[in-house]
Amino acid sequence: AAADGLGSIAIDTTQLNMSVTDPTAWATAMNNLGMVPVGLAGQQLVTDSICVPGFDPSLSMMTGITPINPMIPGMGLVPPPPTDVPVVKEIIHCKSCTLFPPNPNLPPPSTRERPPGCKTVFVGGLPENATEEIIQEVFEQCGDITAIRKSKKNFCHIRFAEEFMVDKAIYLSGYRMRLGSSTDKKDSGRLHVDFAQARDDFYEWECKQRMLAREERHRRKMEEDRLRPPSPPAIMHYSEHEAALLAEKLKDDSKFSEAITVLLTWIERGEVNRRSANQFYSMVQSANSHVRRLMNEKAAHEQEMEQAKESFKNALTGILTQFEQIVAVFNASTRQKAWDHFSKAQRKNIDIWRKHSEELRNAHSEQLMGIRREEEMEMSDDDSGDNPSKKLRVDDSALAAQAYALKEENDSLRWQLDAYRNEVELLKQEKGQLFRTEESLTKDQQLQFLQQTMQGMQQQLLSIQEELNNKKSELEQAKEEQTHTQAMLKVLQEQLKSAKELAEINGHDESQANEINVLTVALVNQDREKNSEKRSPGLKSEKEALLIGIISTFLHVHPFGANIEYLWSYMQQLDSRISANEIEMLLMRLPRMFKQEFTGVGATLEKRWKFCAFEGIKTV
């Protein structure tokens, strides 16, 4: 029996053999169709499951097997051909027509890419006289047909019930169809079967994919729910009754772990307040009482660990003793008295065993020595800890316990005091927020506005103070110059008087006196020039002279003055290397040509420079 692709259905060998009753008629028909006759004997390549109308196409869906392509050897409804022999199609007989296979030497018919969920095929090359009943008779052997749409131009579309039926229909592509035994051209045609794209097929495929996706999501969710760790038990809300029960649980060693978790959650939630502080303190004190129990358990476990270490050391010592005895046996065997009686192979084995035993003995000996060294180190640490010079011991245990209890009570009182302080501060803040009205908000706004105006007035006052200091310094310099000139004048007048007296005594002419007066005036002028040179140093270069001329012209056409940024932007167009600081220093060196004025109030305060050389000439 040959497998038909369904995996559990076997077809009898008698169904696979189909002999042609009239070879002469077959050869004549092939010649009339213009095809080379093919060998008449042999096994039928299309099983009766395709041609027999009694074939049940729903077996694939019932068995849960995926749709199978009948053209795949060994997997479909076509029996697997030999690997060396190409696939040869045979004649298919129907009631109203006969299907003749294509020439095996021709290439296989081409098909388009299969659309997803394709259940519809395009059938072209139909005979002109082919009716819908004949088409249904031919293609219903591939499976249940749900619809046939026939055109007037010798083609049609056939929609099957399942997707795998389309593969059976594609198998018939290339066959030549002849109606009855007629040789008329209108009664024959070459079939071309190809995949067709239909909206209904694509919609059903999408629905199926969505259903599979939903099933996959449900399966994953069930798997995640199964693997998710269980949620922690819900913790009840705080109440006095629950707190009393929790206090009893905290005293029980078996329920302590569960109770301490609930206590921690309540404290983190903020359930501690003024009313419940004492109750929470008692529960915290109960939790603290378990510290001694835990320390006792730890000491018991440490004692068990020491006992286990001691038993391990004893067992290791016994094992090492036996290893020593085994090594002694091997050493005795290697002596000449017994060694000569062993064969060569026995000597070799004894030597290998002796080396292996010695290695194991040395390893166990090192391990035992390491344990002993650790014990010695621990004993030395204990001795140093017992030294009275490093650690003081309290002999009176009652006093120690009383001090510990007083310390705990002190801590609890301090914590209660801190809690009361926090509550008082919160009440003060809430009370202050309640009594705050719109008037306070307006007062705050007015206060901010007054602060801004005060800042502006302070800045203006500072600028005025700077200007006043400059004026004072200038006035002091002028007074010093005046006193100096007055002193010089007095000296010169005295010299003049003395010179006149000498001239009168000596009888000189008035011309000499006039010369003396001219000399005194010249000296006074020279003195004034020197003082003016001291007050205002001269220009350093020709560049400064040019800058003074340009700045004077610029400020002369700006009678209300200009700030230093505006002046610097104008000078940048003439010389890009000049800076604003350099211009300001030059203006400050010449106070009789340029003066600085302040305009605006507060944030609008601005410094402006003006040209005042004409006024300076008048004062001079």
Q: With contact defined as beta carbons under 8 Å apart, do 99 and 180 qualify?
A: no
How many other CB atoms are there within 10 angstroms of residue 594's CB atom?
22
* pLDDT at position 121: 94
> For residue 151, which phi and psi values (nearest 5 degrees)?
-105, 165
Which among 40-44, 85-89, 425-429, 450-454 has the top mean pLDDT?
A: 450-454
H or E element at residue 386:
none
Partners of 98 in the β-ladder: 93, 178
Q: With contact defined as beta carbons under 8 Å apart, do 146 and 124 qualify?
A: no
Q: Position 324: which residue type?
A: E
On the question of pLDDT at 52 being above 50, the answer is no
DSSP code for 187: G
Between vectors from CA 375 to CA 372 and to CA 379, what angle results, nearest 5°? 140
What are the tens digits of pLDDT across the range 375-386?
888 777 666 555
How many other CB atoms are there within 10 angstroms of residue 191's CB atom?
22
On the question of pLDDT at 135 being above 70, the answer is yes
For 378, the token pair is 């621990």
* Ranges 58-67, 249-258, 431-440, 550-559: which has the least confidence: 58-67
On the question of pLDDT at 69 being above 60, the answer is no
* Mean pLDDT, residues 245-266 taken together: 89
On the question of pLDDT at 214 being above 90, the answer is yes
* pLDDT at position 105: 84
* Mean pLDDT, residues 311-320 taken together: 89
Partners of 609 in the β-ladder: 562, 596
* Mean pLDDT, residues 187-201 taken together: 91
pTM score over 0.75: no
**Largest CA-CA distance found in the chain, in angstroms, rounded:** 186
CA–CA gap between residue 252 and residue 259 (Å, rounded): 9
Q: With contact defined as beta carbons under 8 Å apart, do 520 and 496 qualify?
A: yes
* Mean pLDDT, residues 540-548 taken together: 82
Torsion of CA 129, 132, 138, 141, to 10 degrees: 180
CA–CA gap between residue 351 and residue 168 (Å, rounded): 79
* Mean pLDDT, residues 401-410 taken together: 77
On the question of pLDDT at 244 being above 70, the answer is yes
CA–CA gap between residue 148 and residue 153 (Å, rounded): 15
Q: Is 296 helix (H, G, I), strand (E, B) or coil?
A: helix
Residue 583: CA count within 13 A, CB half-sphere: 25
For 126, the token pair is 């139909």
Q: Grade residue 435 by pLDDT with cuts at 50, 70 and 90.
A: low
CA–CA gap between residue 473 and residue 491 (Å, rounded): 27
* pLDDT at position 115: 93
Q: With contact defined as beta carbons under 8 Å apart, do 334 and 351 qualify?
A: yes
Q: With contact defined as beta carbons under 8 Å apart, do 192 and 173 qualify?
A: yes
How many other CB atoms are there within 10 angstroms of residue 67's CB atom?
14
For 316, the token pair is 């290791």
Q: Grade residue 449 by pLDDT with cuts at 50, 70 and 90.
A: confident
* Mean pLDDT, residues 331-359 taken together: 87
What are the tens digits of pLDDT across the range 80-103?
444 445 567 888 888 889 899 988
* Mean pLDDT, residues 148-160 taken together: 91
Q: With contact defined as beta carbons under 8 Å apart, do 163 and 117 qualify?
A: yes
3-state helix, strand, coil in the chain (%, to 5): 60, 10, 30
* pLDDT at position 538: 57
On average, the pLDDT of the chain sits at 77
Strand order in the sheet with 120-124: 145-150, 155-160, 120-124, 192-195
DSSP 450-464: HHHHHHHHHHHHHHH
* Mean pLDDT, residues 223-244 taken together: 86
Q: SS3 string of 265-293?
A: HHHHHCCCCCCCHHHHHHHHHHHHHHHHH
* Ranges 180-189, 279-288, 377-386, 548-557: which has the least confidence: 377-386
On the question of pLDDT at 8 being above 50, the answer is no
Q: With contact defined as beta carbons under 8 Å apart, do 123 and 140 qualify?
A: no
DSSP code for 340: T
CA–CA gap between residue 28 and residue 574 (Å, rounded): 113
CA–CA gap between residue 281 and residue 292 (Å, rounded): 18
On the question of pLDDT at 4 being above 50, the answer is no
Q: With contact defined as beta carbons under 8 Å apart, do 170 and 139 qualify?
A: no
Q: Is 92 helix (H, G, I), strand (E, B) or coil?
A: strand
